[in-house]
Amino acid sequence: MTLDRLGILTDEVSANFDEALDWVAAQGLKHVEVRVVDGKNVVTLNDEQVGNVLRRVKSRGLFVSAIASPLFKCALDPARPVASGDRFGQQEEDVEAHFAKLERVIAIAQLLEARRIRIFSFWRESDPGRYHDDIVRHLKRAADVATRAGVLLLVENEPSCNGGFAGEVAQIVRGVDSSAVKALWDPGNEAYGGREAFPAGYGHLKDVLAHVHLKDAYIGHDGKPRCVPLGSGSVPWIAHFRALAADGYDGLFTIETHFIPDDGTQRTGSRMTLDAIRALWSEV
């Protein structure tokens, strides 16, 4: 494991994009995922603003590894009650609005010289399995768009979505059955949702994953989930890193801590997680 494959979501470091980029470069990281830039979701930026983002990234010797979009964080049917989660500044919209947005997000990714786009699997239904075919049908349509554009859509395991956990994401990705749709594996999200991330979660989707987010979490005695620096939660990261290496995973890793220490800052939380990663990787 080397820092050459390690990056971070910039707004996990600072809301100020330049401050975040300076920090990333100073830590010796190589890439960034882009979600929010100076308070604006990246999918809302115009071409000139996107070009400015790329110049700022490249001036630090970095590259954009992925667009962390909110695509398909929406209800399959607004008439049904569903869960919801963080949209990072985006309004609630219907499925067709998200398909229109997909075209724009692809254009933004291409302008940023990035091929990967993080997507989701619609707000979680009370019985997600009942709507599996509907989810797959929509994402097959998205896969066709992505194939023509030469980009890769990454379905993240997000507890507020139908693909909330590894097994569900694996079923969706296999159902779509396209080289343009793979899994984005976030073991911390699995732990945050009270599931075993490794070996159980990883075992479900290890053959369909193409990107890894680094986060750790645990369920407290009060039953509430908490995000913590890597190695402090319920994910057995050393064993997991070893398994990823043994299974031939040669893709990228992105830090997404969601952790801010008491009386601290995002930057402090990210630094604590980065220090933990360095220590854990030394044991792999």
Confidence at residue 225, expressed as pLDDT on a 0 to 100 scale = 96
Query: Could you tell me which residues are beta bridge partners of residue 143?
Result: none
Identity (one letter) of the amino acid at 28? G
Q: Give the C-alpha separation, 57 to 215, whole Å.
A: 23
Running DSSP on this structure, what letter comes out for residue 233? S
Pairing of strands 152-156, 116-119: parallel
> 227-268 pLDDT, tens per residue?
999 999 999 999 999 999 999 999 999 999 999 999 899 999
Residue 104 pLDDT grade (very low, low, confident, very high; cuts 50, 70, 90): very high
Confidence at residue 88, expressed as pLDDT on a 0 to 100 scale = 67
Helix or strand (DSSP H, E) at 86: none
Q: Is 36 helix (H, G, I), strand (E, B) or coil?
A: strand
Q: Is 167 exposed, middle or buried (0-12, 13-18, 19+ CB in 10 A)?
A: middle
Q: Give the C-alpha separation, 259 to 235, whole Å.
A: 15
> 50-67 pLDDT, tens per residue?
999 999 999 999 999 999
Q: Give the C-alpha separation, 137 to 135, whole Å.
A: 5
Residue 92 pLDDT grade (very low, low, confident, very high; cuts 50, 70, 90): confident
Class of domain 3-281: alpha beta
Checking if the pLDDT of 184 tops 80, the result is yes
Q: Is 168 helix (H, G, I), strand (E, B) or coil?
A: helix
